[in-house]
């Protein structure tokens, strides 16, 4: 069996691995380093372009359940993330460079793997049993024409904002304290508190700061990655119920609860860089330095990367794809990743895993798997192929699962029940089908 995968991001790399370990001859077409998108900077595959956190690893969260399901399916992305993780409380965060390098080395280690560097402009399946398109939210214009031939004008666009990164040694540690929310983890976050006066001054500066001018089609902002200045304009206290929430944190130096807190998270294992958690932004670079520098701990901060806005493109998947991420009009074409309307690192990776696994089974004469909506994996598959109202991107969450057979009032216990059911169903699926 021969398969071509277009795009070397999370979905594409996961798809390659699932096929390679099953003996398939895989050709990966990736335009880096011949051409870089605005958000990509390194030559290795599976580059982490936004936050280095893959969200919670706690089984009581939907993100934790999804990663547990992916471990049962032998996910390359989750396994390597575990190998290259950096301290981040209950979150699975990685050293982005080590993570990308190890993914690249793993794929290159297969004798049946070929990487071709070029800017793809065709969706032809000639010479391959099937093709997986995983070009991501920054799909190059060279391929957009081929997309239009299939999808017409039924494209949707939204934009992510990338959070800034500062150097560790430029942080004012006299104005910060180390702690994890509610004491979880090992004080993995560096917290930058503000009192009422400092917050009010910061808020007023933020809502009046100058932003990069967006084009008309750039104004559909995805709620899960909202620019901090957009959030601020929704109300003076909105940030204090979002990324600047002080709940679960107490400054042991003063014995008081801060009015607002910005959390910084390590960007690499050595702890030389920190990410401004939740501070995705479209502010101009000079404004970022001025406004974010009003936070006491960042008054002398050195920004090694400013936040930027970038285009994210996804298709109206329910009109074109089935639950296997397979194109209804051409069974030899599969799509995966954020192109399909899944949103998030792990969600993108699992879509690549499913597309590869289902494609392999279908073209090996086997029936495709039914992960069911009792698993996060299956529920995401259902989201992609369910035509209900206006289609929009979806993260993993318990709300997309089939309801429990019994009504459980306690919120924490209800999540545990969802998690236990999902993992049992996935274990049964993996065991019964010998995946």
pLDDT in tens, 105-131: 999 999 999 999 999 999 999 999 999
Residue 409 burial by CB count (10 A; 0-12/13-18/19+): exposed, middle or buried?
A: exposed
Name which of 22, 7, 112 is nearest 357 in CA terms. Answer: 22
2-157+311-432 belongs to CATH 3.50.50.60? yes
pLDDT in tens, 374-418: 999 999 999 899 887 677 778 898 888 888 888 888 888 989 999
Q: How far apart are CA 353 and CA 134, in angstroms?
A: 11
Note the pLDDT of residue 155: 66
The mean pLDDT of 261-281, rounded to a whole number, is 87
Residue 49 pLDDT: 85
Any idea where the domains of the chain sit in the sequence? 2-157+311-432, 165-307
CATH architecture assignment, domain 165-307: Beta Barrel (2.40)
What percent of the chain has a predicted confidence (pLDDT) above 70? 93
Judged by average pLDDT, the poorest of 80-94, 213-227, 305-319 is 213-227
Higher-confidence position of 188 and 166: 166
Q: Give the mean model confidence (pLDDT) for residues 183-196.
A: 86
Burial of 20 (0-12, 13-18, 19+ CB in 10 A): buried
Q: What is the pLDDT of residue 251?
A: 84
pLDDT band at 217 (very low <50, low <70, confident <90, very high): very low
Instruction: Please tell me whether residue 10 adopts helix, strand or coil conformation.
Output: helix
Give the pLDDT band of residue 259 (cuts 50, 70, 90). Answer: very high
One DSSP character per residue, 228-242 reads HHHHHTT-TTTGGGT
Q: Determine if the peptide bond prior to 339 is cis (ω within 30°).
A: no
Q: What pLDDT score does 223 carry?
A: 54
Is a pLDDT exceeding 50 seen at residue 214?
yes
pLDDT at 153 over 80: no
Does 158 have pLDDT greater than 50? Answer: yes
Residue 213's pLDDT is 73
CA dihedral 283, 289, 293, 299 (to 10 degrees): 170
**Stated pTM of the model:** 0.76
Identify the residue with better confidence: 392 or 76: 76
Instruction: Return the pLDDT at 256.
Output: 83
For residue 38, is pLDDT > 90? Answer: no
Question: Could you give the CA distance from residue 424 to residue 421 in angstroms, rounded to a whole number?
Answer: 5
Mean pLDDT for the chain?
90
Strands lying side by side in the sheet with 53-56? 53-56, 91-94, 85-86
Handedness of CA 31, 110, 125, 362 (dihedral sign): negative
| pLDDT above 80: residue 319 | yes
- At 44 the pLDDT is 95
User: For 261, which DSSP code?
Assistant: E
Lowest average pLDDT, out of 5-14, 33-42, 155-164, 370-379, goes to 155-164
| pLDDT at 299 > cutoff 60 | yes
């Amino acid at each position: 069996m021969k398969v071509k995968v277009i795009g070397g991001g999370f979905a594409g790399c996961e798809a390659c691995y699932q096929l390679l370990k099953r003996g398939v001859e895989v050709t990966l077409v990736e335009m880096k380093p011949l051409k870089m998108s605005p958000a990509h900077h390194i030559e290795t595959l599976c580059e982490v372009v936004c936050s280095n956190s893959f969200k919670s690893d706690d089984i009581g969260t939907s993100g934790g359940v999804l990663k547990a399901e992916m471990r049962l399916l032998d996910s390359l992305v989750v396994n390597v993330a575990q190998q290259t993780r950096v301290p981040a409380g209950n979150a699975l965060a990685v050293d982005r460079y080590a993570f990308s390098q190890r993914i690249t080395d793993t794929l290159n280690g297969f004798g049946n793997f070929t990487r071709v560097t070029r800017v793809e402009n065709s969706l032809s399946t000639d010479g391959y049993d099937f093709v997986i398109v995983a070009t991501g939210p920054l799909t190059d214009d060279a391929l957009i024409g081929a997309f239009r031939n299939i999808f017409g004008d039924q494209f949707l666009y939204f934009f992510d904002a990338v959070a800034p990164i500062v150097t560790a040694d430029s942080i004012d540690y006299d104005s910060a304290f180390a702690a994890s929310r509610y004491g979880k983890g090992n004080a993995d976050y560096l917290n930058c508190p503000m009192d009422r006066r400092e917050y009010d001054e910061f808020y007023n500066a933020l809502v009046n700061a100058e932003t990069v001018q967006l084009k008309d089609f750039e104004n559909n902002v995805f709620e899960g990655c909202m620019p901090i200045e957009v959030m601020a304009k929704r109300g003076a206290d909105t940030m204090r119920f979002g990324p600047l929430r002080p709940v679960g944190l107490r400054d042991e130096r003063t014995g008081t609860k801060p009015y607002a807190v910005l959390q910084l998270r390590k960007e690499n294992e050595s702890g030389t860089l920190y990410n401004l958690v939740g501070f995705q932004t479209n502010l101009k670079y000079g404004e970022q330095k001025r406004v974010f520098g009003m936070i006491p701990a960042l008054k002398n901060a050195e920004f090694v990367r400013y936040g930027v806005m970038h285009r994210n493109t996804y298709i109206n998947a329910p009109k074109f794809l089935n639950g296997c991420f397979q194109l209804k009009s051409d069974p030899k074409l599969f799509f995966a990743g954020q192109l399909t309307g899944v949103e998030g690192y792990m969600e993108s990776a699992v879509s690549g895993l499913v597309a590869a696994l289902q494609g392999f089974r279908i073209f090996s004469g086997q029936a495709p798997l039914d992960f069911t909506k009792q698993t996060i994996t299956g529920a995401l598959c259902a989201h992609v192929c369910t035509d209900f109202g206006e289609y929009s991107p979806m993260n993993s969450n318990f709300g997309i699962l089939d309801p429990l057979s019994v009504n459980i009032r306690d919120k924490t216990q209800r999540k545990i029940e969802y998690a236990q059911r999902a993992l049992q169903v996935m274990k049964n699926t993996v065991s019964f089908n010998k995946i």
